[in-house]
Every structure is written in structure tokens, then in C-alpha cells.
Structure 1
């Protein structure tokens, strides 16, 4: 599974490098390329930024469309045709529609690169790529030719949690979310009950796991909590459920083991 995810990361990363170089081509001056990269970094920050001064229920307002229009389209007009044609911002957007368009374009099987992995990929791989390239551009003389400022692919690592390098790849956010779901069930809390606020459960989970987020709508846990435990195709979900069951077995929690086993049995029955 880890190898498959690594392959997907490589596919998206190399496609991103190709598309951003295509988007940069019309910008003849290094200063314009610097501005373009800085704007993309600002766009990512607007989507994924976390303001620790805000209360948990306060939202960070960010108008994505207006940001791109005012910062890039109005300034460069027809020079942004490749940027629009490649749908470059879909590499950064965290909404389902943009992600679906990107995955369809790259012919990616989404379950191998799910919602939570996508957020980390943007903030730890793509943003790092932009920052590295920006640093190189800033060291170039003002009149450097644009051919000298091409982004070149570099080795990538699969992002997970708050680190870009996995020390324990079997532990990931999707499995944490599944464990959270079953712990809630043990506590007698049902995520699909009308009298339970999904926003409150999301804030509780993010506080528990120390997952930063900009607002509830963009919170990784909020995007999947209403669908738990069915957050992957059955065969892939079985692998994660077995992992979760083992965690309950390690602490000898019979109720947790039984709850997970019921889901496993249900899925196996549907597959037979």
C-alpha cells in the first residue's frame, strides 16, 4: 500500500512540475516569476493557514477566486492562459470538485491518495517545491533568461502527519480517524445522530490529535467524520480496520475489538 501511495505522489508531483513550468513560460522576467511563485504560496497559505489567535469556532475568510483574479489574472491577462489551461490551482484546492478534476486529469485512483493525504501533500511537498524554487529565483540576477529559471523535479517523500518523512507509515490520519470513530461509539456517541454536532466532534478530534486547521469546513476530520467508518473502498478499508482492531487488542479492550470486528464481518459479507 505504501508503494502504491508513493507512486501516486510521484505522478502528481511530476505533473505539477510540468504544469507549473508551462504556466511560467509566458513570464519573461525573473521578477514576474518571483511574483507568480509568491502568489501561489499566498494562495496555499490562504487555504491551509492556521491562526492560533482565533477561537476554534472562528473561521478564516479567504476568497480563492478573487485572490487569483486580483493577483494574477488582472495583472498578467493573456499571459495566464497556460495557468488556466493547466488548471494549476487544482493541485492546491482542497475541495472535492477540484480534487476530482485533478485526479481524473492524471488518471489517479483516488483511494490511494485520499483527502487527508492530499492536504499534507500540498503543504509539505508542493509548498516546499515552490519555496525552494523561489529561493533560487531570488538569487538570480534581474535579467536572467526565463530558461534558466525552470523548476526541475526532485525526489519526493510521502507526507504523513506533521512530518514529510514517515517514521511509522502504518500510522496515518485515516486510521486515526477510524480509531476516533470507534472510541466515540464506545463512549456512546453516534456521529450520525442529529443531536450531536459534527463541528463539536471535529473540534474535539482535532484537539485530541493536535491537527491544525483554518476553519471547520476545511478541517480534515470534518470532511470525513460524517462518512466514518466508510471512508475507503471495502477492500482497502478492511486493511485499516484490521489495524484498528489490533490496537484495541493490544490494550485488551473487548468492546473495541467486537465493534471493529462487526464492521469487518459486514464488509466481508458484502464482498462475498
Structure 2
């Protein structure tokens, strides 16, 4: 029986991996089809759809918008999430558990509910159909990921190091700049990576708060699926997958460095 269990575990794991990767295996090869339809078998191989992503204005603009909005979201969510994690770290703060739950609510609240609320609010304050509005909307759903990663990094810091720095006469800001921030940097960078990935993948909020000039790659893919199914969608999906793998590798590298840094 123990030998059977030992053999069954890797088999079960391999089946689960195959189940999860099956949709990707089905769609990604179509990024290189020479046909104008998403069908198998492929009549031939071509990179024409990647060329379309780079040459057609609507696709090129959506890629640029995704990078601009993603960078803005990363900076805003990184600053807000790190500040919130530092505040929640203090056990003397009243209702710490309540505030932590509130900060994590965007992870569980339906995106449609957030989208409707943000659209109504942004119209009243003049942020509708603007880059700032889209960045703020994406930051709302990205901040919880930053809080989680930064909080985990802060939890691994021995507070006696900070107390020692303070006892030697360092001001609170100096303690943060010279001690806390360098030790928490791997978690902060990991949170920034997740914030960028969240912004890159967000569709529902973008549909509510973005205008024609803020059309992101994810939104363009969604619109193309509704209007005209093209292999360019598979090419865009290929870029998404490659980008996600790069981000995942970067995140794992940063996490692996965290214990050495701390």
C-alpha cells in the first residue's frame, strides 16, 4: 500500500498539471497559424498575427496602454500597500483585524460591483475615461496583493534589529530607511510584480472606467472575441502567457532572496 501511494502521488500531480495546461496547449499553437480562423488542423505556420499586433493601430495602442496603466498601478498600489502593511504591523493599533479585512475586501468583492461603484464615483469627480481613473481602479484590486506579500516580508524581520537601531539614536524615519525598508524590499518588489500582473489581466473594471483612448490589451482581446474571432487573440494570449511566466519567475527569484536579505 505505501508503494502504491508513492506511485499514485506523482501520477495524480501530473494529471492535475495536464488538466490545468490543456486549455493553453489548445490555444497557444494557433498563435502561429497561417489561417484566418481559429481551427485545427492548421494549414501552415506563420508569424503574421504577431506582426498584426505590432502594426495595427488598435492592437499597438492597447499594448502601450497596458504598459502605461500597469506601471502606474504598480507605483500607486506599491506605495499604498506598503504603507498599509507597515501600519497593520503595529499590534497596538485598535481594530487591526478589522482594518486588515477591509483592505483585503477587493479580493473577494465581485468586480462588477466595484466597476459600477467606481464608474458612478469617477463621473462625479471627473476621472471617468482617463488614465488616472483606470490606474486608481486597478490599484484598488492590486493593493491587497501588495499588503499580503509585504506583510509576510515584515513578519520575517526581527524587530530587535529595529529596536537596536532606535536605541542607538536613530530617528524613526532613519530606522525605516536604513533597516526596515532594505529588509522588506524583496516583499515590496514581489508585491509590485503581482500588482503589475493584476493590472495587465484586469478586464471588468476597465470596461466600466476606461474610455476609447485607455483601451488595454485585455479589453481589446475581450472586444475582439465578441466582434470578430481572430488568431490575433491567440497571439495576444501567447504574449500574456510569456509575460506571466516572466513575472512568475521574477517573483520566485525575489522570494528566494528574501530569507538571505532578512
Sort the TM-score into its range (normalised by shorter chain): 0.3 to 0.5
More helix per residue: 1 or 2?
A: 2
Higher relative contact order, chain-length normalized (CA < 8 Å, sep 6+):
2
